Chain A
């Protein structure tokens, strides 16, 4: 099962096994990791599962669609070029070892 690395704003590191097909957001929420809120439950509607994706994995992610692009303009912490909504990242075998950093706050 792919391992996803979540790093909190304070620097805490969580390595979580996330099944293929689940989203990076779900992996965090189902393991009770604070720092990803996901109030809309993964519908790309709230921008509270914002993460900064480690640069070396960016090329493996699908392009940002219109809905995600609009939501990323509404994140509580600044949008950067590696900003993504973690509900829109489906875990695949190639993403084993993915590193995402969580912003200071989500709301």
Chain B
């Protein structure tokens, strides 16, 4: 009897791999092993609708628990995978059981980068979101360490709940790793104008007596201090099995590791992107879902090199930030629309070719950008900046 596919990791990528295998007509056994107790759920709402109380635990499940049984997906919750025994083609669980595979999909995700500060909260899992939600209900003053997507989304939620909020960012601008300076400046003003205190170029030295102590000695009281300073990919399982790892589990454009039976997808995988000059590791729903679909097709015998255009989003207050493509290596930037109007996009060019677009409350620009970047259709900086020039391609 065939052993089928074993998927390690019950996040969005792992779930999607299982669901897409069945959608592709794959008939062999599928085992989905997750280390959390809940059925696979969506992470994006955790920092927004979930902590705001607009969506509950059941509402963020990717599928109801019955889905797995109905689709003959063997779902193993709350179980840690300890080892991949590559020669025997099986994984070893903490409880000692061995599960054999014909193909293995590593959707191991990532974990929060931590800081040596006592009593702080982090947000990655549903359990952590439940804790933050409960602590927010009691809190008046909230300190957020880290001015990236997660930090700013939590800041916006906490402020919406009427809390006094301070964001502390070590770099000179917000979301510096991922957006253009004009977008950082826009979001700085947006948060400040809604009553969030934003401290740039600032580091938290220690937590003392419920206060975050800054490097200059000043203090901010935090009934709740949340740290959002990035994530670390979970690569240990792969490394210990002898698979190449470099800030992620290395895969080729078919998302295969050095072992032809083993794939890696989502936050934990580093792959050669057609839209970058180097290997990339992307942390996004789009990347998790599209790579899962690609691997499912490959296992079902309908594979093709992975070529999806990366896209990302972040909702903060009533603002929607959307990003398409990868700006690394860009040498020119133009702005379409007026930042003062609250609706604008930034177009990045690399050697004259459009490589990425950041959009604020301009969904049509974002969609057009995805298509332009995917197709390689020519658009020049003058056209991109000219609002009378249509970006739509059919």
Contacts and interface: CB of A to CB of B under 8 A. Distances in A.
B152 interface: no
A31 B65 CA distance: 10
A30 interface: yes
Interface stretch (B161-169, B187-195, B363-371): B363-371
A70 interface: yes
Interface in B297-339: 313, 315, 320, 322
By secondary structure, the B interface counts as helix
A71 interface: yes
B285 A40 contact: yes
B392 to A, nearest CB: 8
B364 A32 contact: no
A29 B15 CA distance: 14
A73 B59 contact: no
Interface of A: 26, 29-32, 34, 39-41, 43-46, 66-67, 69-71, 73-74, 107
B273 interface: no
B230 interface: no
A41 B313 CA distance: 12
A107 B293 contact: yes
Contact of A32 (B23, B59, B64): B64
Contacts of B366: 70
Given A39-B16, A41-B60, A70 B367 contact: yes
Interface residues of B, number: 31
Nearest to B43: A41
Contacts of A44: 363
Interface string B58-82: 1111111011001000000000000
Contacts of A29: 62-63
Nearest to B12: A39
B60 to A, nearest CB: 7
A70 B363 contact: yes
Given A32-B67, A45-B313, 12 more contacts: A30-B64, A32-B63, A32-B70, A39-B289, A41-B285, A43-B313, A43-B315, A45-B322, A66-B363, A73-B367, A74-B371, A107-B293
Interface in B23-61: 23, 42, 44-45, 58-61
A88 to B, nearest CB: 12
Contacts of A30: 58-59, 61, 64
B44 A71 contact: no
A69 B42 contact: no
Nearest to A40: B285
A41 B67 contact: no
Contacts of B313: 40, 43, 45
Given A31-B64, A32-B67, A32-B70, A43 B44 contact: yes
A26 B54 CA distance: 14
Contacts of A43: 44, 313, 315
A86 B289 CA distance: 19
